[in-house]
Amino acid sequence: MNRLVVVGASLAGVRAVEGARKAGYAGAITLIGDEPYLPYDRPPLSKAFLDSAEVEVPYYRARHEFAELEVDLRLGVPSTGLDTVAKVVELGVDAVEYDALVIATGATARALPGSDGLSGVHTLRTLDDARAVRAALDAGARTVVIGAGFIGSEVASGARKRGLPVTILEAMPAPLVRAVGSVMGSACGSLHLDNGTELRCGVTVSALEGNGSVERVRLSDGSAVDADLVIVGIGANPATAWLASSGLTLDNGVVCDSYLAASAPSVYAAGDVARWYNPTFGRLMRLEHWTSAQEQGERAARNAVDPANAEPYRTVPYFWSDWYDSRIQFVGVPDGAECELFGSIGEGRMLALYGDGEHLLGALAINRQPDIMKMRALISRNAGWDEAVAFAAARVRNWKIAASRQPV
């Protein structure tokens, strides 16, 4: 094999490059990214990058470090097509041949219809997005967040730390209902209310108004919210438009088997763009999580450069988000009718278990960092529901005993 090409200067893309070299691959590597910047970490863009006094771009590696890995960087060059027969990645008028390919193009934020032509309206997915949002917050913007998901809620948290007025608009009855259910969604919503953020659920946006710059958000109930800055956090779509004529199987991402191999020879996918078969749960999954992106990037590259020794990628999904002074963590999947709750927002800590009555399938923790990885291990070994509930109850009892012994 002579050349590995990685499309997407993302976390998964960087880990793919590193993974190939760690596996002993000595051939040529080309890393292609559509942004002009060196690859950078995205989660801090909605956290520390917005509210820290010192602004540092969270680059993964310096340029000389990529040179030491002998990587041919092609930055600021969008990929426009893929010919899986000729094994060529098209870059407009240019092209790059490959022997093995890892697709790591991530996802693109969904835009709000009707927002074209109005300044002050932003998604938050790229470094340019984050710089524009930070500048608006520095100017004291009245902030409206559309969508009470993780990124929007993190932006709201950062704005409130600055003492700025923030309103979150959510179409569902509570935040994160689809992800964690109504009970824990309402608990997460309480974090906003307790920190002075106005949370309005069950409303949709009918129009954005303003003369050149956004001035207000008109809602479906006829009311309006004044705004200088609007953050659109209504999800993301896998970045597969450039693959439309490739012949790859595309369905909410690049469809892959358990080895992260796509439907054409020598083509693999990793990160937000990959929808792969997860043997742990016996289903196709597409995860927009930092942890899975880094793990998939390395595994996809290793499988691509050494297919004879390929290994499947199996995982228990894990993600986290920081809202105000609280950390929210989730493992597994929120499947099943069973839900067992421990603690409360009033206590400052909560743990929720999700299952089907037979097995533990997921767990959500608010300010219970030591417990969540225990739950992940239980899910990984297919622990029974009753065992998981008993284990969680014991953890809670130990925590309360320890808390009662703390000096007042």
The string of pLDDT tens digits covering residues 367-390 is: 988 899 999 999 999 999 999 999
Beta-sheet pairing, 326-332 with 338-344: unpaired
**Count of alpha carbons within 13 Å of 109, Cβ hemisphere only?**
22
CA 164 from chain centre, in angstroms, equals 26
Report pLDDT for 178.
84
DSSP conformation letters of 186-203: HHHHHHHHHTT-EEEES-
Amino acid at 169: L
DSSP conformation letters of 280-339: TTTEEE----HHHHHHHHHHHHHHHH-GGG--------EEEEEETTEEEEEEE---SSEE
Angle at 163 between CA 120 and CA 350, to 5 degrees: 105
Kindly report the number of other CB atoms within 10 A of residue 195's CB atom: 16
Report pLDDT for 408.
36
Report pLDDT for 404.
52
Report pLDDT for 402.
55
Q: Write out residues in the chain with pLDDT < 50, as ranges.
A: 405-408
| Phi then psi dihedrals of residue 82, to 5 deg | -140, 125
pTM of the model: 0.93
